[in-house]
Chains A and B, each alone.
Chain A
């Protein structure tokens, strides 16, 4: 039997081994992307810039007025029907379409407005307030995250096409359920609710944009003791963190099963508001085949 001190010594020794140097190509890739990665400015930092002369002040004021005028015009005309229209004036934040998935790890800030998912199997539009950004994993798993810098885990609203669930959420591999989940809404709701170790709420009937389905919550344990896994899309297996809650909506869109998953953490100070914001986005969803 090892003592606690033995284990700590062995772990520390083991941790000291292995890779430490970051390959130059990784650093080069980061530096190459800087020009295309705008910094997120904040008001308190902006105030630290010195405005040195009257001309500069006037120029800045004119720019602010122009931006406000354009922003108001954009917001007032950014409706669902506008989503695929080209933006008449060049603007980094003005595109009302969720960014393409060619860089699934990238995140792009979103202005308040109505957005659609590019190349998703269903036509999905929804309205987000300010303070959200894109966070998509693949073409069949796209979504938006609340922009937060003071928390570790993001509040995330995802739109997915789920094909199956794992057979063992705590298993070492990503073994799918066999036989796989059936095609109906109830099949998937039952399979997710039965995932071992989770606490699932009672499913309730829900209708979004005329499509019927079920809504329920899935809560991960605070101490799962493993990388908890849940459902599988065509591209990957989803993992869930300790204490994560998912507000799940499963809809039948004329034979295509759409899952909307709102992940949040009750231990966040603003968790109630975060959930309410996601529910508001969910309520704005409009779907077409």
Chain B
């Protein structure tokens, strides 16, 4: 991120903030969408996060840390959205394009199982999975972004991946039973 833009926005330059928001908006929204699994909630969370970035930017001491700091505000906004609206009936699934796996098997079943498994995870666990496996942040940076110890991040990631693995294996079990009969 252009630290000059960050510094100018810190001092109230709305034009600089506009450039910042354009630069990071897509990325923040993509992360929010993957954590919340809902289009409307993700848009609301991203909007609130960007406003919070503007409001709290003067409190960011190290402009070079803008990316990690903005992710923290975004995750916080995701928590707020999840807390505010928790009706499962409002959730909409991401579009399915039915991509094929490298071995020729359809990933559609995996996706459905993952969707269900992911939704069973708490927002705390989802955030760790998304920051690590989508943004490719090292666990130390995930910990810094979330403001929790690295051990907590490892624990949450382990727990989340175990849950997702169980969701995938739950789909595989009926297939094996059918084959053995």
Q: Which residues of A contact B (CB under 8 A)?
A: 1-2, 4, 6-8, 10-23, 26-27, 29-31, 33-35, 37-42, 44-45, 49, 104-105, 137, 149-154, 172-174, 223-229, 236-239, 241-242, 267
Taking a contact as CB atoms under 8 Å apart, the answer to whether A173 and B55 are in contact is: no
Closest residue of chain B to A19 (Cβ to Cβ) is: B33
Interface size bracket, B side: 35 or more
Taking a contact as CB atoms under 8 Å apart, the answer to whether A22 and B133 are in contact is: no
Closest residue of chain B to A156 (Cβ to Cβ) is: B83
Give CA–CA (A237, B119) in the complex, Å.
Answer: 17
Taking a contact as CB atoms under 8 Å apart, the answer to whether A2 and B124 are in contact is: no
Taking a contact as CB atoms under 8 Å apart, the answer to whether A152 and B85 are in contact is: no
Give CA–CA (A171, B134) in the complex, Å.
Answer: 27
Q: Which of B120, B147, B159, B168 is the one whose CB lies under 8 Å from A172?
A: B120
**Across-interface contacts of A174 in B (CB, < 8 A):** 86-88
Give CA–CA (A2, B111) in the complex, Å.
Answer: 14
Taking a contact as CB atoms under 8 Å apart, the answer to whether B123 and A227 are in contact is: yes
Q: Mark B143-181, 1 if CB is under 8 A from A, else 0.
A: 000111000000110010101110011001000000000
Pick the most buried of A45, A137, A238: most chain B CB atoms within 10 A of its CB. A45
Taking a contact as CB atoms under 8 Å apart, the answer to whether B28 and A149 are in contact is: no
Taking a contact as CB atoms under 8 Å apart, the answer to whether A18 and B47 are in contact is: no
**Across-interface contacts of B29 in A (CB, < 8 A):** 19-22, 26
Taking a contact as CB atoms under 8 Å apart, the answer to whether A17 and B122 are in contact is: no
Pick the most buried of B29, B86, B121: most chain A CB atoms within 10 A of its CB. B86
Known A21-B26, A225-B163; contact A27-B21, beta-carbon cutoff 8 A: yes
Taking a contact as CB atoms under 8 Å apart, the answer to whether A2 and B26 are in contact is: no
Give CA–CA (A21, B155) in the complex, Å.
Answer: 31
**Across-interface contacts of B129 in A (CB, < 8 A):** 11, 15
Give CA–CA (A14, B33) in the complex, Å.
Answer: 13
B1 at the interface (CB under 8 A from A): no
B105 to chain A, nearest CB (A): 11
Taking a contact as CB atoms under 8 Å apart, the answer to whether A238 and B48 are in contact is: no
B64 at the interface (CB under 8 A from A): no
